Amino acid sequence: MKIHEFQAKELFRKYNIPVPEGNAAFSVEEAITHAESLGNYPVVVKAQIHAGGRGKGGGVKLAASKEEAQTLAREILGMTLVTHQTGPDGRVVKKLLIEAGQDIAKELYLSLLVDRATAKVVIMASQAGGMDIEQVAEDTPEKIIKVFVDPLMGIQGYQVREVGFGLGLTGGAFKQFSKLLANLYRFFVENDCSLVEINPLILTGDDSVLALDAKVDFDANALYRHKDLLELRDLDEEDPLEVEASKYDLNYINLDGNVGNIVNGAGLAMATMDIIKNAGATPANFMDVGGGASSEQVENAFRIILADEKVKAVLINIFGGILRCDIFAQGVVDAARKTGINIPVVIRMEGTNVEEGKQILSDAGLNLISATDLNDAAQKIAAAVN
């Protein structure tokens, strides 16, 4: 679960991770009030969306006066911000962060993430921080330091020093950084983060170190033990169909293609997406209704996929194990009766109670295309959309 920069910075403050003074604003008036209360210009007007690259997209700007702060707040609030992370449709800006402008001497990069290969927390840092870190990683990966922390040992003093020296810090800045990194590690572990990225981490003209940006992603599977963090979820930033699917515990991810698919089991869903692709079509979503789905869940899954305008045909691929084929078929029939199907639907069903399931489908008199196996299903769905 991602959160906004202003929320991440509020959490950072609680962990003594230094951040600029600032406040979130939800209207132009509020933005001006916050700008004035900082007492000094320039202030920075920052778009709050769940995507990076805002600076390059025109979502982060410096205001030298109250008037300019007002102009920028008007311009950025409500704009559709397009960055390399939002995709071409962009994201409408509904919130701002108004922050005290900083005197930047150097922009550094610092992040913590879970490294699955080593089962450790990896700290990544670079002196080449700022807006082009992706390019640095691509062209000059040697400029990125990586330190792997064993979660059972916790972060060690020598590891903190390795990163601090690698960032070229000395004296007071080095000491400040050491505390910051130890606190950031604690923040990461205590909150079950999957990613914390500070880009840039800045060194100011008077040699202090602070987090100028903050990107935080929490492991959604651990949120049950962080009820307070759940309140930070912003549904405005999520795909509406994905939000709807999450209400029914459906594992659904919206994609770009035009073949909707409903599958039980994540592995089977991945395989189904592959066969769709192999047959020359493109999946519109990943949808796993789970091993033990009820017919209501199946109905909701079907409704959500049909609500997606880009879906031109639906492939249903069910292996009846814990989820019996007859239960599944009933869900499909109920959903089809309620929503009405006006696009081709191909069904491949195998496993427990498959005959009963097929009977329910054929008795319903719906216009469904039945497939004998995976290959046949793939060919039929590709023919339906191409």
Closest chain position to ligand GDP (CB): 55
Interface residue with ligand GDP, options 10, 21, 41, 55 (CB under 6 A): 55
Asked whether 361 and 316 are in contact (CB, 8 A), the reply is no
Of the candidates 99, 197, 237, 299, the residue annotated as catalytic is 197
CB of 52 to Mn ion, least distance (A): 6
Between 201 and 335, whose beta carbon lies closer to ligand GDP?
A: 201
* 54 binding partner (options ligand GDP, Mn ion, none; Cβ < 5 to 8 Å by kind): ligand GDP
Long-range CB pairs of 187-192, under 8 A, 24+ apart, other chains included: 187/11, 187/12, 187/15, 187/17, 188/112, 188/121, 189/121, 189/151, 189/154, 191/11, 191/218, 191/226, 191/229, 192/218, 192/219, 192/222, 192/223, 192/225, 192/226
Tell me: does residue 58 bind ligand GDP (CB under 6 A): no
CB under 6 A: which stretch of 48-56, 141-149, 160-168, 328-336 binds ligand GDP?
Answer: 48-56
CB 164 within 8 A of CB 174: yes
158 is catalytic: no
53 binds, among Mn ion, ligand GDP, none (CB under 5 to 8 A by kind): ligand GDP
237 makes contact with ligand GDP (CB under 6 A): no
Q: Among all chains, which residue has been given the structure tokens 């999450």?
A: 246
When asked if residue 213 is in the footprint of Mn ion (CB under 5 A), the reply is: yes
- Provide, rounded to whole angstroms, the least separation between the CB of residue 56 and ligand GDP: 6
CA within 13 Å, CB half, 304: 30
Q: Does residue 197 touch Mn ion according to CB under 5 A?
A: no
Structural element, H or E, at residue 39:
none
Query: Is residue 200 a contact residue for ligand GDP (CB under 6 A)?
Result: yes
- Please say if 68 is a catalytic residue: no
Q: Which is nearer to ligand GDP, 211 or 263 (CB)?
A: 211
Note whether 260 binds ligand GDP by CB under 6 A: no
User: Would you count residue 131 as binding ligand GDP (CB under 6 A)?
Assistant: yes
The helices-and-strands tally (H runs, E runs) of the chain is: 14, 18
Beta pairing, strands 345-351 & 313-320: parallel
Residue 125 or 314: which CB sits closer to ligand GDP?
A: 125
Residues 329-362 as b or e (16 or more Cβ within 10 Å = b)? bbbbbbbbeeeebeebbbbbbebbbbebbbebbe
Is residue 242 classed as helix, strand or coil in its secondary structure?
helix
CB atoms within 10 A of CB 163: 20
Residue 266 contacts which entry, ligand GDP, Mn ion, none (Cβ below 5-8 A, type-dependent) = none
CB of residue 322 to ligand GDP, shortest distance in Å: 44
* 90 touches ligand GDP (CB under 6 A): no
Task: State the minimum distance, in angstroms, from the CB of residue 45 to ligand GDP.
Answer: 10
Question: Measuring CA to CA, which residue among 298, 98, 306, 351 is closest to residue 285?
Answer: 306
Q: Is 218 left (phi over 0), alpha (psi -120 to 50) or beta?
A: beta
Q: Which stretch binds ligand GDP (CB under 6 A): 50-58, 66-74, 117-125, 247-255?
A: 50-58
Binding site for ligand GDP (CB under 6 A): 44, 52-55, 60, 62, 101-102, 104, 107, 130-131, 199-200, 212-213
Binding site for Mn ion (CB under 5 A): 199, 213
